[in-house]
Amino acid sequence: MTKLRDERATPSLLDVPEVRTARVARVALLRPIDKTYNYIIPDELADSIQPGRRVTVPFGRNDKPSQAFCLSVSDEPWESTLKPVLDLVDDEPLLNEKMLELGRWMSRYYAAHLGRTLDLMVPAATKRRAGRRKVKYAVLTNLPGRKEEQEKADQKLTKKQNDVLNVLNNANGRLATADLCRAAACTDAVLKTLEKKGGLTFETRLETVDPVEPDVQRVEPKFELNTDQKAAIDQITRVVTNRAFSVQVLYGVTGSGKTEIYVHAIRRALAEGRQAIMLVPEIALTTQTIRRLQERFERVATIHSGLTDVQRSRTWSAVASGVIPVVIGTRSAVFAPCPNLGLIIVDEEAEPSYKSQAAPRYHTRDVAVKRGHLENIPVVLGSATPSLETWNNLQNRKHYHLIRLPRRVRDLPMPMVHLVDMRMEHKARRGVHLLSRAMESHLEEVLQRDEQAVLLLNRRGFASYLHCPRCQTVVVCPHCSVHMVFHATTELAHCHYCHAKLAVPNRCKSSGCGGTLVRFGMGTQRVEAELREKFPDAKLRRIDADTMNSASDYADLLGAFERKEFDFLIGTQMIAKGLDFPFVSFVGVISADTALALDDFRSEERTFQLVLQVAGRSGRGETSGHVVVQTFASDTAPIRHAVEGDYEGFAKLELNRRHESRLPPYTRMVRIVLADGRMSKLRTAAESLVDKMQTLLSKRGLPARILGPYPAAIPRLRDRYRDEILLIFDTGTTLIGAMDLFKDEGTLRVGVKSLIVDVDPVSLQ
Ligand code: ADP
Ligand code: ZN
């Protein structure tokens, strides 16, 4: 029986049915669409269509020409319904196979449209071909060997024209027209005449102009690496040489010399003939780190939001061609098109700014790890306070390895941290003082010894609220449900969310109350005012989003501080991390409680990181460092552990708490925020979305806890009401399963003005 069937299954040549196949491109449109589509590739484009290039295809009811990324090319059975690709957009692929794969993963994991995700991975400037220019070349036509004919022809030429051809000949027969005119001291018209006479032809090419690289002097440090650093470098260079995926968690206390480890790791990658990417949280605050890298490597490209279009596009091309081996940059640098990547470093991996706040809401660190996995290369995650996600992964994932730097370089002591309980302080002194007596005396000492101090307050503005003591109301933004903050610089009340500004009323406006409004709470401007009053001789500068307009403002100010041009630097959390100033002997935390007040399961972790990190700015030079931390919550775990510099103790405690409450990193969270101008419509949509999700998930056996809908932490923003839903899954696999399901079923298409899906949110604000 079997035999018979086998024979019948082997068709003879004669009865092979004629299967028509077609060359087909699978594409993802650059539109909010979840599906991908097939298009027939016409013969004239057959050689040029490749995955990673953009094409134009007819789409929608009117076959409107629309752009799409080509994902793959294959031979498929011919179908009459297939439409043809209309045109090719790019001269060369913008994304290689691995980057396409990374994009597919991101779009799936972060529940974002594939076309839009791929689009985001390539700078807009590159897509517009900024920084590339058309260059016109003159090419000599008469070939060597036809000497006689040439001489005959030459006689008909003027001396000028002959000169031009000679110059061209000496340049191997090809020269940009602009250069040729300059060298032969002639005009374009001469070249045109020569073209008519057949002496030369023109040719146009699209060329990339070289990126401008900063002129930084190469310096090698004079110190010797300590034993911990040597051991760390040994381990990392070994994995870089092995060229296999792994995650090396570099947990080094503040001032332990992590940058040196990065430098040696990158050197190893370059020695292997490969490239390296180093990611940094925010460029303005990492100018120091960047400069240190530039001092150590021949060619370093920087990618950040401060670049002009042309710079961005040139840098991208230079990296793609492999000319520049080291890339350093913020979030989007994780997509740097290195053709032969050997290493990715994520500095300060716990920084919340690594999470993108626009779709796809990806976490740069997690994308870096995924890219490392796809490229099969090591990834280094560095921090003095690793995120609890990373710390937990060290225990559970076999690819994660811990490297410790437990001591500061040069055996410098860790800073001495003093806690000031502001409740006691207020009792002991009359009036409200922003600065405790301990803080004041340390600042006094700093001035006497001609050293420097950093003062941190995690809030901008002058006062936090405008408060009516009579009826207990506060002034809120007319468009958002948040307090307005009084700014002394503008004398206006600002909304830090929608940037609305209001003239400050003297009297309370709430129904006939008429009480006198008082400013309550404190911001950086108020700290500045108090410092100026108490230390009239001190030179001080404030650094926050209100005083800084561009990346170069930050660089200038930090540079001036480094050169000791002023004594006190006052700022928000942006000054807490990464900075290394040898003359800073004192750090004051005006209030450690600002982050604790937030209703977010990560408040404790943030508070701990902030206090420990800012304390780490102190005592990095010859003089030992002191830190004063002012708090109303001196008995809370994050503050206590931060004061003791005890990361591991804190991590253990906080991880226990997260485990008990079934919170990340033990679970995976998705936050959905719906917004609409009409409250009733919003609530109905949110409730029916929860119902739909619940039904779908239980039908497919995907367990999830669904919380909400309830008003978001900011229940109204820019005149829209906001509702929040939290989904909590036990594993990443269930989460992806759920996101796939919602995509397939179109579940998240609900009729509200906006819907945000935030997978692994870093903030619930
Ligand atoms: P971290 O990032 O771990 O806080 P940095 O990398 O900024 O520390 O290093 C702190 C300072 O110590 C830098 O000025 C660096 O040049 C210096 N440094 C690094 N390694 C050594 C060493 N082995 N001996 C002396 N100084 C060092
Ligand atoms: Zn507002």
Looking from the CA of residue 221, the nearest atom of ligand 1 is 16
Residues 6+ apart with CB under 8 A from 78: 20, 21, 22
Residue nearest atom 18 in ligand 1 by C-alpha distance: 257
Q: What angle do CA 399, 402, 406 make, to 5 degrees?
A: 170
What does the pLDDT read at residue 2?
A: 40
pLDDT exceeds cutoff 90 at 269 = yes
Residue 109 alpha carbon to ligand 1 centre in Å: 37
| pLDDT given at position 150 | 59
- Mean of pLDDT values over 686-695: 96
Q: Which residue has the higher pLDDT, 367 or 499?
A: 367
Q: Identify whether the C-beta of residue 697 lies closer than 8 Å to the C-beta of residue 704.
A: yes
pLDDT of residue 54: 95
What number is the average pLDDT over the span 200-205? 84
Q: Report pLDDT for 14.
A: 56
Q: Is the pLDDT assigned to residue 144 strictly greater than 60?
A: no
pLDDT tier at 689, thresholds 50, 70, 90: very high
CB atoms within 10 A of CB 730: 15
| Confidence label for 4 from pLDDT (cuts 50, 70 and 90) | very low
Give, using CA atoms, the residue closest to atom 2 of ligand 1: 258
675 CA distance to ligand 2 centroid (A)? 15
Choose among 340, 191, 370, 344: nearest CA to 272. Answer: 340
- Ligand 1, atom 27, lies closest to the CA of 409
Atom of ligand 1 nearest to the CA of 225: 23
Q: Which residue, among 292, 275, 376, has the nearest Cα to 333 in the 3D structure?
A: 275
pLDDT of residue 78: 82
Q: Which protein residue has the closest C-alpha to ligand 1 atom 19? A: 257
The residue among 225, 270, 277, 290 whose CA lies nearest residue 252 is: 225
Closest residue CA from atom 17 of ligand 1: 257
Position in ligand 1 atom list of the atom nearest CA 229: 23
Query: What's the rounded Cα separation, in Å, for the pair 389 and 669?
Result: 12
Considering the domain 416-460+526-659 in this protein, what is its CATH number?
3.40.50.300
Which carries the bigger pLDDT value, residue 571 or residue 263?
A: 263
CB atoms within 10 A of CB 457: 25
Please give the distance of CA 214 from its chain centroid, rounded to a whole number.
22
153-167, 590-604, 718-732: the lowest-pLDDT one: 590-604
Distance 595 CA to ligand 1 centre (A): 29
Q: Which ligand sits nearest to residue 615's alpha carbon?
A: 1
The token pair that represents 11 in the structure block: 């068709």
The atom number, within ligand 1, closest to the CA of 224 reads: 23
User: With 80 as the cut, is the pLDDT of residue 129 above it?
Assistant: no
Which ligand is closest in space to the CA of residue 484?
Answer: 2
Between the CA of 718 and the centroid of ligand 2 the distance, in Å, is 6
Residue 285 has pLDDT above 60, yes or no: yes
Provide the pLDDT for residue 8. 46
User: How much is the pLDDT for 446?
Assistant: 93
Residue whose C-alpha is closest to residue 670's, from 685, 652, 690, 696: 690
Give the number of the ligand closest to the Cα of residue 476.
2
pLDDT of residue 625: 84
In the reported structure, the alpha carbon of residue 47 is separated from the centroid of ligand 1 by a whole-number distance in angstroms of 53
pLDDT at 132: 65
d(CA 673, CA 203): 55
How far does the centroid of ligand 2 lie from the alpha carbon of residue 461, in Å?
A: 15
Residue from 260, 280, 351 to probe ligand 1 pocket by mutation (most atoms less than 8 Å from CB): 260
Gyration radius of the chain's alpha carbons: 32
What's the gap in Å between 383 CA and the centre of ligand 1?
14
Q: How confident is the model at residue 445 (pLDDT cuts 50, 70, 90)?
A: very high
Residue range 227-411 in CATH 3.40.640.10? no
* Mutate which of 224, 254, 259 for ligand 1 pocket (most atoms within 8 A of beta carbon): 259
CATH class of the 668-759 domain in this structure: alpha beta
CA atoms of 518 and 66, how far apart (whole Å): 57
Q: Which tens digits make up the pLDDT trace of 625-675?
A: 888 988 877 788 888 998 888 999 999 999 999 999 889 999 999 999 999
Centre of ligand 2 from the C-alpha of residue 481, in Å: 7
Contact 452, 584 (CB under 8 A): yes
Query: 19-126 has which CATH code?
Result: 3.40.1440.60
8 A C-beta contact, residue 140 and residue 165: yes
Residue 133: pLDDT band with limits 50, 70, 90: low
Ligand nearest to C-alpha 483: 2
Q: What is the DSSP annotation of 112-152?
A: --HHHHHHHTS-HHHHTTTTEEEEEEEEE-SPTT-HHHHHH
Give ligand 1 pocket residues (Cβ under 6 A): 221, 223-226, 229, 252, 254-260, 409-410, 580
Mean pLDDT value of segment 161-169: 87
Closest C-alpha to 137, from 168, 176, 180, 194: 176
Mutation probe of ligand 1 site: the residue of 223, 227, 291, 612 with most atoms within 8 A of C-beta: 223
> In this predicted structure, what is the pLDDT of residue 152?
59
Ligand 1 centroid–CA 233 distance in Å is 14
Note whether 318 and 324 are within 8 A (CB). Answer: yes
- The closest-lying atom of ligand 1 relative to the alpha carbon of residue 289 is 7
Of 277-281, 301-305, 751-755, least confident by mean pLDDT is 301-305
Instruction: List, for residues 568-623, the tens digit of each pLDDT value.
Output: 998 877 776 667 788 888 989 888 776 665 667 888 898 898 888 888 877 777 77
Report CA(331)–ligand 2 centroid distance (Å). Answer: 27
Percent of the chain with pLDDT over 90: 46
Closest CA to 386 of 417, 351, 344: 351
pLDDT band at 1 (very low <50, low <70, confident <90, very high): very low
Mutation choice for ligand 1 from 409, 581, 620, CB with most ligand atoms inside 8 A = 409
Ligand nearest to the CA of 228: 1
CA of 620 to the centre of ligand 1 (A): 9
Q: What is the pLDDT of residue 521?
A: 61
The CA distance from 5 to 421, in Å, is 88
Q: Which ligand has the minimum distance to the alpha carbon of residue 411?
A: 1
For residue 489, the CA-to-ligand 2 centroid distance in Å is 19
Task: Name the closest ligand to CA 498.
Answer: 2
Taking the CB of residue 116, how many other CB atoms lie within 10 A of it? 19
Convert 293-317 into a string of H (helix), E (strand) and C (coil).
HHCCCCCEEEECCCCCHHHHHHHHH
Q: How far does residue 492's CA lie from ligand 2's centre (Å)?
A: 13
| CA distances, 27 to each of 52, 53, 66, 266, 741 (Å) | 10, 10, 11, 36, 21
CA-nearest residue, atom 23 of ligand 1:
225
pLDDT digits (tens, 9 = 90+) for 17-28: 567 888 999 999
Ion ligand 2 residue ranges (Cβ < 5 Å): 477, 479-480, 495, 497-498, 500
Closest CA to 64 of 91, 86, 48: 86
More confident residue, 582 or 722: 722
CA distances from 700 to 309, 694, 707 (A): 47, 10, 19
Atom of ligand 1 nearest to the CA of 288: 7
**Alpha carbon of 391 to ligand 1 centroid (Å):** 24
Mean pLDDT of the chain: 86
Q: What percent of the chain has pLDDT above 70?
A: 89
**Three-class DSSP labels, 146-174:** CHHHHHHHHHCCCHHHHHHHHHHHHCCCE
363-397 pLDDT per residue, tens: 999 999 999 999 999 999 999 999 999 999 999 99
For residue 717, which ligand has an atom nearest its CA? 2
Determine the average pLDDT of the residues in 519-543.
83
Distance 259 CA to ligand 1 centre (A): 7
What is the Cα–Cα distance from 492 to 501, expressed in whole angstroms? 6
Helix%, strand%, coil% for the chain, nearest 5: 35, 25, 40
Atom of ligand 1 nearest to the CA of 292: 16
